[in-house]
Structure 1
Amino acid sequence: MAVYKSDNKWYIKGKIRKDDGTYYHYHKLAAGCSLKKEAIEYERKFKISYQDIVVSVKFLSFKELSEEYLNSLTSVKSVTKRTYTDLLDKINEVMGNKKINLINKDMLQRYIRDLESKYSKEYVEKFYYILRASFNYAIDNDYITINPMNKVKLSVNKDEIRKEMDFWEPEEFQRFIDNVDDQELHLFYTFLFYMGTRRGETLALQWKDIDFENNSVSIYKTVTYKIKDKPWEITSPKTQNSVRNIPMFKIVEDELRSWKKVCEQKYGFNDKCYVFGFSRPLAAERPRKQMVKIVDRINADLPVEQQLKKIRIHDFRHSHASWLINNMGKYNFSDFDIAKRLGDTVQMLHSTYAHQFKDAGKNIINSMEGSVDEVKIPLKTVKNDDYISELKSLKELLDIGVITEEEFSLKKKQLLGI
């Protein structure tokens, strides 16, 4: 090992003994060094770095680790595994080829900061937790000894304001539904607006789940799309609360009966056929894409103040929930009844619709089955459903050991504003 100066530049020169008894010879510029002691330190770090690289040949790449970790998740639902797969696929685009022993805190912190500059806090947290879980798996299997995510921090912005959701009031929904010509999609949008079910629950419905005699619908499954090696899969709901039986509004019953008559004329019809899609569930993106086209067509020649606002498919559910909350006093049902109908817990219901519960009883409105012209539902100020989705995600992370009870409790208090 030696350092020497030539033409006012410092160089390092020496050899490193390999495990097989041979030597690696090095001779290179000590870049950035102006003093001998700096060149000596440069050589020391170079040798450490070289040895790390040699040793890392024996280590997994992050991509290999992520694949092992995903395969180990045998007890999580398909929809959850798909979410984790999507996140890890994105992470692998950046660090998939890096050896896990060479991935350090600084590298991961830069990655998280970059994500924070592009995405929402909730979305970045998903990357944060899956990274930590992956390295925990590596520790559990003796691949590494320290989790490099332990000192990686998420940004804290106490002044962050959550986005409020957009909703359609009944008049707005009526403007939209009057322009839907496709009978199947007309029923689909109507079902969501009046039943408050989730998209996956609705698309998983089969005719055997529709009880016309008792005027109710059984919800006990959901459809998950983009599963690896298969386009879709029917699974049980994410939580036990999601299993429920929902009474139907007459407008839903009438449209279902009419649509069933159409379906019965198709070859191969039986009660196992899907209500939306027949032999397989309706393509997930079709309702959304058609909704966008219809709204654009409605708004084409209207001034901005008269245009129908654009919402998501999931916002039909929140429109329904808001109506229920604001009618608690008038129709004598409780928050427990609402939570049961929606497939949520009372706690989740309150955290998601805090504003509505604050004002419940003050804004009693007419029934949704009354004249649309008379119904006035204040739906514009409901808080984002990210509260409920994030709490569920955190509970899942707690269940599989990614976060601790203390972390879950702290995060829960932050979300609920306690």
Structure 2
Amino acid sequence: MASLTKESDRGRQGLRLRFYLNRKRKSLYLGKISKRNAETVKRHIEELVHAIESNTKPDAETVRWANGLEGRMRETLENWKLIQPLTKSATSVEKTLGPFLDQYIAGRTDVSAATREKYGHTKRFLVGKFGADHQLDTITKADAKAWQRWLMEQPARIDKDGKVVRTMAPSTASKHVKRAKTMFAEAVDAELIPSNPMDAIKGGEEVNRSRDHFVDRQSAKQVLDACPDIQWRLIFALARYGGLRRCEITALKWSDVQWDQSSTTAL
């Protein structure tokens, strides 16, 4: 356990913190600070020592405290290996929201251009709410929930007079939430933030069932009659009567069709 004592250091009255790290006694002069602030330092130091000795991660509050340290105290704790030296990734512009999201999206070479574009849409809403220069580690769970509510207020359709006819559907907002969780999880893995604030949000249903519409046989026949050629009639028939999705239809080959069984091998 750490302890605090009042003492003089080169003629200055202040508080000194003493504790053991790996069975070695350490002493840290805190100077003339309030007892309350000294107790805060003591609590975080104890958490850092416990993390080192138990080979675990310190709690999120202590990580935030340590990341904000500067000067002599930071240098001392780094020398004792209680905290890691600040790296470029933790001090550079990437720790602000806009540049981090740009870097993340550009680095997602494992997904299609269309998927990266969707991440770009989510980035636009995050920056629109918080600002590009907002520090990642200052976004709280409460901020994340407020962002979700703000999303639901964003216009999805505006009439010719500029009046909002419809705001963002819950399913669309849920997709943005899901992508935001993924991007902030990357920030956690990069140790830019201690925890993912977006985990506080429940994504909800990503399918907007209010837009579902049953196409009856009479309407289907009218659509078929209006199709410009047999290829379009086949596409519509596979969707309406076969229940195939667009990606399944475009992936079909003639070799997939089992003519004798009236089925396909691709399904």
TM-score (norm 1): 0.32
Structure possessing the higher relative contact order (Cα contacts under 8 Å, 6 or more residues apart): 1
